[in-house]
Amino acid sequence: MRSWPQKFYGSATRFLKETGLLNFERQVLQARYDLN
């Protein structure tokens, strides 16, 4: 039961890495962190 979310998360992160969206998300998280 636990392997499905891990597989989905793995493929999702791989997709984000390939499209470059992961960098964008990280920048957004960093900006939010700086605001606090």
Tell me the whole-structure pTM to 2 decimals. 0.40
Give the pLDDT of residue 22: 67
Whole-angstrom distance, CA of residue 27 vs CA of residue 2: 29
Q: For 8-28, what is the mean pLDDT?
A: 82
* Domain around 14: 3-35
Query: Cβ(16)–Cβ(25) under 8 Å?
Result: yes
Mean pLDDT of the chain: 81
Query: End-to-end alpha-carbon separation of the chain, Å?
Result: 36
Rounded to the nearest 10°, the torsion over CA 16, 19, 24, 29 is 0
Q: Give the total number of structural domains in the chain.
A: 1
